[in-house]
């Protein structure tokens, strides 16, 4: 029985690397996979973009935007060719309906769906897509990374050009900010949010 998975972590834990390695493993066994990544912060109307890892791995993926019906698109593609698994990078940017669409891909089409993303934003708040995935995914997996102190990093801080924590603003800003993963204690010290 196919399942909906949510693989989550703080920034820089290697989620995209794991996704690309898993997709490679499927392909190596002659299976067909469909890769998706967010069009959330990409300009233009392109249909594809690369999923890139920090260690240099990359693969072309379909872009999803808020208006897209992922179930309909995946079902139509599955009618043309077999799809053995669906991989979604940057799953925190999914909207609630898209998470349910992906659940239907697993339930109605029998295709496992692996969603990789951040759990919380720089303010320690759940992303909408992550909240829905935490609520309905069949299986949750945490990818661990470490804080500079050596403890498990569970939080992400957004830093400005001078390295000072930004505590207000849009939930996502990949063009002007730098992100760092921290344990909860160091995140709270740096951000002074609570």
Q: What is the mean pLDDT of each run of 10 residues along the chain (194 residues)?
A: 96 93 97 93 69 88 94 96 97 97 98 97 94 98 95 92 83 72 93 76
Q: Which pLDDT does position 41 carry in this prediction?
A: 63
Cα atoms in the 13 Å half-sphere on the side-chain side of 175:
5
At 103 the pLDDT is 98
Per-residue pLDDT, 178: 81
User: What pLDDT does 167 receive?
Assistant: 85
Domain residue spans of the chain:
4-144
Residue 175 pLDDT: 60
Residues taking part in catalysis: 90
- With contact defined as beta carbons under 8 Å apart, do 177 and 158 qualify? yes
- Res 168: pLDDT: 85
Contact of 119 with 133, CB cutoff 8 Å = no
Taking the C-alpha atoms of residue 95 and residue 18, their distance in angstroms, rounded to an integer, is 23
Distances (CA, A) of 8 to 26, 90, 190: 21, 10, 22
Contact in structure between 64 and 129 (CB atoms under 8 Å): no
pLDDT the model gives residue 42: 59
Q: Which CATH superfamily hosts domain 4-144? A: P-loop containing nucleotide triphosphate hydrolases (3.40.50.300)
Q: Which residues contact 43 (CB under 8 A, 6 or more apart)?
A: none
Instruction: Give the span between the Cα atoms of 15 and 136, in whole angstroms.
Output: 20
């Amino acid at each position: 029985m196919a399942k909906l998975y949510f693989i989550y972590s703080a920034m820089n834990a290697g989620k995209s690397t794991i996704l690309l390695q898993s997709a490679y493993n499927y392909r190596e066994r002659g299976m067909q996979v469909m890769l998706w990544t967010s069009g959330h912060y990409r300009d233009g109307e392109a249909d594809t973009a690369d999923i890139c890892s920090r260690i240099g791995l990359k693969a072309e993926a379909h872009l999803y935007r808020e208006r897209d019906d992922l179930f309909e698109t995946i079902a139509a593609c599955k009618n043309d060719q077999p799809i053995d698994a669906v991989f979604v990078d940057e799953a925190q940017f999914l909207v609630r309906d898209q998470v349910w669409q992906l659940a239907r891909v697993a339930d109605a089409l029998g295709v496992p769906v692996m969603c990789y993303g951040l759990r919380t934003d720089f303010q320690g708040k759940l992303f909408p897509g992550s909240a829905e995935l935490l609520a309905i995914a069949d299986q949750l997996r945490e990818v661990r990374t470490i804080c500079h102190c050596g403890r498990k990093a569970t939080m992400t801080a957004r830093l400005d050009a001078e390295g000072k924590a930004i505590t207000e603003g849009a939930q996502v800003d990949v063009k002007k900010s730098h992100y760092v993963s921290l344990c909860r204690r160091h995140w709270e010290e740096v951000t002074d949010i609570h």
